[in-house]
Amino acid sequence: MTNEASTSHLYAHDFRIDPESRRRLLRQTPAILWFTGLSGSGKSAIADGVEARLHVSGRLTYTLDGDSVRLGLCKDLGFSDDDRHENVRRVSEVAKLMADAGLVVLVCLISPFRSDRELAKSIAGKHNFAEIHVHASLAVAEARDPKGLYRLARRGAIQHFTGVDSPYEQPTAPDVFIDTCLLSINEGVEIVLNWLDRH
């Protein structure tokens, strides 16, 4: 990992084509939609529905999903608190670059710690950023268990699993709140799209 001393001599080039130029070219407002919640809460399913609707309407998008980034960009990281922090930091930087390119970026990460989600928002800078809390109670998420992960965690086969032996810090003031114990995936999709239309 780098530190301030090793990067203090670096200066970003002032390129003529800036984020505003790309926004005008694409005729869309970039944004970062950050989906957070327990495993099994419905983050990826809702993001998938949102992206599909945006794609059909002609919006340029990209989804950064937790499992996918851990197979490449973050495959060297584990699930300690420090590694989770670094995972969020890396994904946040990539999301910002994609937003700079003019895209609507959908990020699906458990991102269990408030401080890391605040970091993500800080890295996003001037871009539209929505913290989207996809809520399901632990009992409901564990009953769904689409990947069988809770079962493995309860047996001790997975360590540092959020909701079992690692905490999830609920957002205190998310931009969007979706309770998938009460709402369908399609209803969640509509809530996110309505937020995006207003911002």
Domain count, the chain: 1
SS3 8: coil
**What distance separates the 2 farthest-apart alpha carbons in the chain?**
56
With respect to residue 153, please indicate whether it lies within any of the assigned structural domains.
yes
Instruction: Establish whether 41 is an annotated binding residue.
Output: yes
With respect to residue 16, please indicate whether it lies within any of the assigned structural domains.
no
Could you read off the pLDDT of 129-142 as tens digits, one per residue?
999 999 999 999 99
Q: Is the pTM of this model over 0.85?
A: yes
With respect to residue 149, please indicate whether it lies within any of the assigned structural domains.
yes
Query: What is the pLDDT confidence band of residue 9, given thresholds at 50, 70 and 90?
Result: confident
Distance, CA of 2 to chain centre? 23
DSSP H stretches of helix in the chain: 4-7, 19-26, 43-56, 66-70, 81-100, 114-124, 138-144, 149-154, 185-198
- Contact present, 121 and 96 (Cβ < 8 Å): no
Structural domain of 86: 29-198
Instruction: Establish whether 102 is an annotated binding residue.
Output: no
Could you read off the pLDDT of 131-185 as tens digits, one per residue?
999 999 999 999 998 889 999 999 999 999 999 999 999 999 999 999 999 999 9
Catalytic residue among 111, 115, 166, 184: 111
**Length of the chain measured in residues:** 199
Mean pLDDT of all residues in the chain?
A: 94
Question: Which residue in the block uniquely carries the two structure tokens 């991102």?
Answer: 111
Pairwise CA distance, residues 30 & 104, whole Å: 5
Angle at 77 between CA 72 and CA 78, to 5 degrees: 125
Instruction: Establish whether 49 is an annotated binding residue.
Output: no
With respect to residue 128, please indicate whether it lies within any of the assigned structural domains.
yes
181: domain CATH number is 3.40.50.300
With respect to residue 89, please indicate whether it lies within any of the assigned structural domains.
yes
Q: What is the pLDDT of residue 116?
A: 98
Instruction: Establish whether 38 is an annotated binding residue.
Output: yes
Q: What is the pLDDT of residue 6?
A: 74
With respect to residue 187, please indicate whether it lies within any of the assigned structural domains.
yes
With respect to residue 56, please indicate whether it lies within any of the assigned structural domains.
yes
Query: What is the pLDDT confidence band of residue 3, given thresholds at 50, 70 and 90?
Result: low
Quick check: is 80 catalytic?
no
Instruction: Establish whether 80 is an annotated binding residue.
Output: no
With respect to residue 192, please indicate whether it lies within any of the assigned structural domains.
yes
